[in-house]
Amino acid sequence: MKIAVCGKGGSGKSTISALLAKEMAKNKNVLVLDTDESNYGLHSQLGMAAPKDLMEYFGGKTGFKEKQRAAPKKTQFWGLAANGSTSGQPAQQSRFFNKRWSFSDLPPEFVEEKAGVKLMAVGKIHNFGEGCACPMGILTREFLENLDLGKNDIVIVDTEAGTEHFGRGVDKDFDLILVVIDPSYESLRLSKKFDEFGSQCGCRVYFVLNKVEPDIKEEMLASVNCVNVVAEIPERREIFKASLKGEELDFELDEIKKLADFLEKS
pLDDT in tens, 76-132: 443 444 434 333 444 555 678 888 999 999 999 999 999 999 999 998 776 776 666
For position 48, which CATH number holds?
Answer: 3.40.50.300
- Within a domain: 75: no
Strand 117-121 to 112-114 pairing? antiparallel
- Within a domain: 83: no
- Within a domain: 87: no
pLDDT higher than threshold 90 for residue 196: no
How many domains does the chain divide into? 1
Q: What angle do CA 251, 253, 256 make, to 5 degrees?
A: 115
Q: Give the pLDDT of residue 73.
A: 58
- Within a domain: 199: yes
- Within a domain: 158: yes
Q: Which residue has the higher pLDDT, 265 or 64?
A: 265
- Within a domain: 85: no
Q: Give the pLDDT of residue 189.
A: 83
In this prediction, residue 257 has a pLDDT band, given cuts at 50, 70 and 90, of very high
Domain that holds residue 157: 2-70+92-265
Q: What is the mean pLDDT of residues 174-180?
A: 91
pLDDT in tens, 227-248: 689 999 999 999 989 988 989 9
Q: Which residue has the higher pLDDT, 266 or 82?
A: 266
pLDDT in tens, 19-35: 999 999 999 999 999 99
Q: What is the mean pLDDT of residues 191-216?
A: 86
- Within a domain: 84: no
pLDDT higher than threshold 90 for residue 165: no
- Within a domain: 153: yes
